[in-house]
Structure 1
Amino acid sequence: MNGLRYVYAVCRPFDAPLQAQVTGVAGAPVGQLPHHGLVAVVSTVPERDFAEEPLKRHLEDLDWLSDTARGHQSVIDALTAVTTPLPLRLATVFRDDSGVRTMLERREETLRRTLDRLDGRVEWGVKIYAESGGGQRAAAPARPASGRDYLLQRRRRNQAHDEMWERAEKFAGRLHDLLSGRAEDSRLHPPQNSALSRESGRNVLNAAYLVSRADSEAFVELVDRTKDEETADGAGLRVELTGPWAAYSFATPAPEEASGTASDTASGTASDTASDTGEAAP
């Protein structure tokens, strides 16, 4: 069975070895494909799964997609520990090494410029959730004695909810402004759907921050300190910090990893499920 070339990321040449136990998608060993001072990090994947038509079917299979995303992310995480990778989208596949080199050559200037911008930097994700119950179990309301009492109780509940959402959104704006001032760049992503993320509460901030490795410890301390100050009263706000990640959210302008001709690209299909940051690769 012929194999296709799966590309995880593009980076500068590096000497440090990847973790010995790291394998890529479908359990394949990971290698480096150098070209003009750039390196594509690749592995071989079976055509029966990653050619255009079977890949389209697989991307509707959540179990397969989850396994593939974990393999993809494990390689990106290992790269982030030893260098600055420019991660490509999940399921970026070419027919052979020649197709990968064609992509590198066609996008060489953009790739070099983006790698220069990301060098020595990582991505941190910050999410804020607001619990509609204020983070505490509310006492059961007294049975209304009349229709007027019922309307009054309902009005008070609505007012309390409105005040809580207003406070959450103000805190989200204040925290984002504070963290943006300490980061080199930031991105605001759409709020996550709680039904899909399976997180409790309403997502009022879903942001990514580009931070130098040297400043990351101070950035984390700032998040923790601000979180503790705002949530000390248990008012139903929850702050989640994730990272450090490869700079998925800042890898733009994006390399046209999936825009080759039929002769060099096996599939241009990509998925935005790269990690639990909820954040897309280029």
Structure 2
Amino acid sequence: MNHEPGLIYVYAATAPAPGLGDSLADLRGVGGAPVTLLAPRTGSPGPAFVVSEVPSGQWGEEGLRARFEDLAWLEDTARAHHEVIQALTEHTVVLPLRLATLYQDNNRALEALSEQRDIFSARLALLAHHVEYGVKVYVATEADTTEAVGAEGRSHGTASTDSASPGKAYLRARRAQHHAREDRYQQARRAADRIAATAAVHATHGVRHPVQTGPLTRGEAGENVVNDAFLVPDEKTEDFRAALEQAGQGLPDVRIEVTGPWAPYSFAMPSAQAADTADRPGP
């Protein structure tokens, strides 16, 4: 029975750590494949790749093109990729790589590792003893505000007062909606300012991601207006979270969502978006 040739799937670059290879023995990655450590044969103390061998028929260019349209498969693959990286964070510094980072064989993967050794080493040094937190700001939707404005108008008897002049009632309602919209976005700006001030004290770097849009991102959460990630030293994580819990006080139309700690996906490689928190502009 012929063995189908495989491709090398790379999850992350990692810093060397005692017993790291042994800690991967029972770990399974994408498609249930065993996870192993791929290090330079010279015994160099530099970074290594964490990899699985995957079937080329399923993971080749044509196979992937079809599979990336399968949302269930994509979700399972992303989860498996993430679980490997999260498991690694318990043992060493991790530089997460993009989903479906593939090489033809071990030699090609090692060539890439060698070519990028200095970049990986510098980035791993930056990320050591840090974790990532996500911070999102949501504001109440216009529907929520309209309902609140209508309730307020009824409580003051405006509906009956304007019943004989529908034009005036309409204009009054439109003005109320406009003021409510302005107020909730002002609240969001204040929340963003508080988050930035907190990050300036507790985080070393920040990234502003595009806000989440579309029908699946709305609902009880409201409208996403800020979608940030911060790199926080291990010893400052508790103070960072505690400060963020206070950032939404006095802002009834704003909700702040904090997620993490995560492996530093947003800071894996330098980008134009990443910056020291002291240099980041407001929303």
Q: TM-score, normalised by structure 2?
A: 0.81
Q: Secondary structure at the residue paired with 2:212?
A: coil
SS of match in other structure, 1:211:
strand
Q: Tell me whether 1:12 sits opposite 2:18 in the alignment.
A: no
Aligned 8 A contact 1:8 1:40 in 2: yes
- Aligned match of 2:245: 224
Shift of 1:198: 4.9
Task: Tell me, in whole angstroms, the C-alpha distance in 1 between the residues paired with 2:262 and 2:113.
Answer: 23
Q: What are the Cα deviations for residues 52-105 of structure 1, in whole angstroms up to 9, with x where unaligned?
A: 111122112211111110010000111112211000000001111111101101
| Aligned twin of 1:54 | 63
Q: Which residue of 2 aligns with 1:114?
A: 123
Change (3 A) 1:23 1:135: farther
Out of 201, 211, 216, the residue aligned to residue 181 of structure 1 is 201
Distance between the aligned counterparts of 2:62 and 2:211, measured in 1?
32
Contact 1:123–1:210 (CA under 8 A) maintained in structure 2: yes
Which residues of structure 2 form unaligned runs of 5+?
A: 272-283
- CA shift in 2, pair 1:135/1:77, >3 Å: farther
Name the SS for the 2:54 alignment partner: strand
Q: Of the two, which has the highest radius of gyration?
A: 2
Q: Within 5 Å, which residues of 2 pair with 1:25-64?
A: 25-35=30-40, 36-37=44-45, 38-64=47-73
Provide the residue aligned with 1:250 in structure 2.
Answer: 267
Q: 140-149 or 42-51, which moves further after superposition?
A: 140-149
- Alpha-carbon shift at residue 252 of structure 1 (Å): 2.0
Q: Who is 2:274 aligned against?
A: none
Match of 2:89 among 80, 96, 111: 80
Aligned to 1:278: none
2:114 to 99, 105, 108: 105
For 2:100 and 2:226, locate their aligned partners in 1 and report how far apart those are by CA, in whole Å. Answer: 28
Structure number with the bigger relative contact order (C-alpha 8 A, sep ≥ 6) is: 1
Counterpart position of 1:201: 222
The 5 A counterparts of 1:113-152 are 113-132=122-141, 133=144, 139-140=150-151, 142=154, 143=159, 144-145=162-163, 146=165, 147-152=167-172
1:168 counterpart SS class: helix
Per-residue deviation, residues 98-118 of structure 1 (Å, max 9, x unmatched):
111011011111111111111
For residue 138 of structure 1, report the CA deviation from its aligned partner.
Answer: 5.9
- The answer to whether the Cα contact below 8 Å between 1:124 and 1:245 also exists between their aligned partners in 2 is yes
Q: Distance in 2 between matches of 1:180 and 1:135?
A: 36
CA RMSD of aligned residues (A): 2.3
Residue 90 of structure 1 aligns to a residue whose secondary structure is strand
Q: Secondary structure at the match of 1:10?
A: strand
Counterpart position of 1:260: none
Greater shift after overlay, 80-89 or 13-22? 13-22
Q: How far did residue 21 of structure 1 move?
A: 6.0
Paired residue for 2:280? Answer: none
| Alpha-carbon distance change, 136 to 247 in structure 1, aligned in 2, over 3 angstroms | farther
Secondary structure of the corresponding residue to residue 60 of structure 1 = coil
Report the count of equivalent residues.
250
Larger proportion of helix = 2
Where does residue 277 of structure 2 map in the other structure?
none
Is 1:3 the equivalent of 2:23?
no
CA distance in 2, matches of 1:135, 1:208: 32
Bigger Cα displacement from structure 2, 212-221 vs 20-29: 20-29
Q: Identify the match of residue 70 of structure 1 among 79, 82, 106.
A: 79
Preserved contact between residue 125 and residue 243 of structure 1 (Cα < 8 Å): yes
Percent identical pairs in the alignment equals 38
- Contact 1:33/1:41 (CA < 8 Å) preserved in 2? yes
TM-score where L is the length of structure 1: 0.81
